[in-house]
Amino acid sequence: MITPRTIDDISSILTQVTQIGDMSSEAFSDFDTDLVAPVLEEAGKLCMDVLAPLNQPGDKTGARLESGQVYSAPGFKDAYKAFQEGGWMGMPFPEAFGGQGLPRTLAVAVMEMVQASNMSFSLCPMLSFGAIEALLEHGSEEQKALYLPKLISGEWTGTMNLTEPQAGSDVGALKTKAVPNDDGSYAITGQKIYITWGDHDLTDNIVHLVLARLPDAPSGSRGISLFLCPKYLPDANGEAGERNGVTCIGLEHKLGVHASPTCVMEYDGAKGWLIGEPNKGLAAMFTMMNSARLQVGIQGLAQSEAAYRVARDFAAERKQGRAEGVEGSAPIINHPDVQHMLLQMRARTMAARAICYECAKSSDMSVGGSEADERKLAKEVEEILTPIAKSWSTDVGVLSASLGVQIHGGLGFMGETLASQLYRDARIAPIYEGTNGIQAIDLATRKLGLSGGEAIPRLLASFEAKCSELEASGDADLKRVAAHLAAGIKALQDVTSWMKETDMDTRLFGATAYQEMFGRVAGVTYLARGAMSAKDAGSNSAADLVGLALFLSETDLGDIAGWAVRVRSGEAMDRQKRMDLLS
């Protein structure tokens, strides 16, 4: 669910916090900040008029499987046609393949609106984003020419086929085989599970990107390759032709996102083509995964936004008890406890939005920056923020959805409410595309060592500089934010140094707490930066940004010292003590 106020908040973060206007450069020659408002307005019409009305009916109906063909929930096919014809799929992709060449930052803002309106629907284009980026980076010129125009236009959709029954996050344990054919293709045989939108009736073809092993492949993750395997083999004109040997043999029964078909896919000698080099599939997989991780972070943010709007509207109407200054029975939005819950939801939503958009902007600038050093530093920030955007935002989505149920009271626990659906839908996001624990491991190991261990301290130093600007701003509320933020940054710097020196087991025991600390500090920093920008520009959003930054600095940074203790908790409880307690 989105509202016109949602669009205002998105615009505020894009323009004041993320400062998307900085990207009106040679790299994005067709982009101008004047595009932001009309793009968001048109996307809002699609979301509010087409996608949102299908959300609850789709949850009740779901997709169905008949004779190896998956049929989407009623209305989804027409909705996808509207999405495709609107050109929404191609926004951030090269014009050479039919895209619009616009910043990824603006595209993820649009996808947030789509995801907030109908998460089940949004998962279909989300997977296509990853497939397109993998082909752009790793595909052959022939593969790009044949498949990218169809994927970027939305005429065909893409999937990621990674997981197998015996191999969840451990992709190195996969067993799907790829045997060379005489014509340069490969015969792919095996089974994949949890394949989101692995089959459907929305488009004429589906392009599966499949991890498999060559006959002479090394064991483990070093021996996996990536293959392109379409549902229908393209004919001489590049159109969907003969059916390939890939079939959906089952649909998973899930806690939420019922209208998104999660498929068990059977490959029986299906014809596929190698993407990139043999046994180098891991690099291509991570191209898909990193794209998906930011998109899933946006998804968590979107569910938080939807939960807030639903809960806020309910609280404004639901009357119960008495409140100061209100005659008679008061709408529950007047009760301080409800106000506190709603403020948590809105403030954390805005902070998550700021983190995700900053990650997207860094991705844009890592390829579009005018100087090599600018591109290098932007890539560092993207690398650091990706696990935080994915994990912190999806945790916020679950928290906000839970608070939304709480605000609805007993009614929120009833299955017919949107509040309960949002809670069920949001719960998957911390799990897939690398669980949030895996994101914490990534942050505390690979990202901690990025650029010789200097990347994270460099980012924290930029936070520190921004904090000094807040202190010098002359605004009493921003000075108060600065005091809390300074303490938070110092605590995060201290545990960062400690993590570099401690043993790996102790470090990983505190990794999730470290990730939480990082998200809190980053969220307040970005909101406060936007608040200063908005005040300087005389923007109507200034008061909101200042107030929300202040609220989060008091709440999410108020207990930052306790989180630092949690990061170090492995010192007091070594591995053996933990295992003994788990007996």
Mind spelling out the 3-state secondary structure of 306-369?
HHHHHHHHHHHHCECCCCCCCCCCCEHHHCHHHHHHHHHHHHHHHHHHHHHHHHHHHHHHHHHC
Helix 418-426 and helix 372-408, axial crossing angle in degrees, nearest 10 = 140
Written as one string, the DSSP assignment of 160-200 is EE--BTTBSS-GGG---EEEE-TTS-EEEEEEEEEEET-S-
Distances (CA, A) of 457 to 209, 453, 493: 37, 8, 7
Which of 243, 485, 281, 156 has its CA nearest to residue 477? 485
179 forms beta bridges with 187
Q: Is 489 left (phi over 0), alpha (psi -120 to 50) or beta?
A: alpha
**Which residues are known catalytic residues?**
433
Q: Which two three-digit tokens encode residue 149?
A: 């125009």
Distance between CA atoms of 345 and 308, rounded to whole angstroms? 6
Q: Give the angle 296-298-300 at the CA atoms, nearest 5°.
A: 70
Q: Are strands 157-161 and 206-212 parallel, antiparallel or unpaired?
A: parallel
Tell me, rounded to whole angstroms, the distance of Cα 39 from its chain centroid: 20
Question: Does residue 404 contact residue 310 with C-beta atoms inside 8 Å?
Answer: yes
